[in-house]
Amino acid sequence: MSVSVQQLTKIYGAQRAVDDISFEARPGEVLGFLGPNGAGKTTTMKMITGYLPPDAGEITVCGLNVEKDPLGVQRRIGYLPEHNPLYGDMYVREFLTFVARIHKLSRPAARIAELIEQTGLTREQHKPISALSKGYRQRVGLAQALLHDPDVLILDEPTAGLDPNQLAEIRTLIQRLGQEKTVILSTHIMQEVQALCRRVVIINRGQLVANDPIEQLQARLRGDTIITVGFQEKTTAGSLKKIGGVSKV
């Protein structure tokens, strides 16, 4: 497993912000991480990335323990936080060059050019970040998260503030990245979950309430039951759909 979270707990005073949750995220999938505001999603993401220590439990990323080797973990993670921290007085390309130096990339110019194109920043690359719309600032944040080609991506509301065209482009990029990396995606947009995620983890008040493939979760929400059956004789999907109560085959 690329990311393994076991019995994770974070306490603030009398409040258990994250309460004994466990889940895993696998290579080659986009895991939807959902919950209402204040559920503990951002706190969990900060603990996975090593920016916030847990009070109990264990997190491993690519086989590395987050508490024992936080720098090793951070080299393997790309993180786009909900409130995207950028240097507004820097130009887009200048900022990405700065981040590339932090990661000590061997061929930074080629990688920066590749990501500027992938994230649709070609026309904005020579503009100051402070002059960009929120949607384009999100693109810069996504580009910096991808710059060092991490194995794991932690994306907290990555499409917030994007217009419909930008939404489609960034979702396509996330979908492609999810084929080769482990992606944990926090979002409030259900269409995004349905379009991108293979599995969904839901937490509420710090507690795990669901950890299911997207199809099973949708069936549960509809009140459906999924059953697997075998037949001795050949049959067709059309004939099965005629059975009362069967909605999908």
Mean pLDDT to the nearest integer, 115-137: 93
Model confidence band, residue 17 (pLDDT cutoffs 50, 70, 90): very high
Domain residue spans of the chain: 3-241
Pairing mode of beta strands 15-25, 152-156: unpaired
Q: Which two tokens stand for residue 151?
A: 């194995």
CATH entry, 3-241, from 1.10.1240.10, 3.40.640.10, 3.40.50.170, 3.40.50.300:
3.40.50.300
pLDDT in tens, 74-88: 999 999 998 888 999
- What is the model's pLDDT at position 111? 96
Task: Provide the edge-to-edge strand list for the sheet that holds 15-25.
Answer: 15-25, 3-12, 56-61, 64-65
pLDDT at 224 over 60: no
pLDDT in tens, 43-95: 999 999 999 999 999 999 999 999 999 999 999 999 999 888 899 999 999 99
pLDDT at 29 over 80: yes
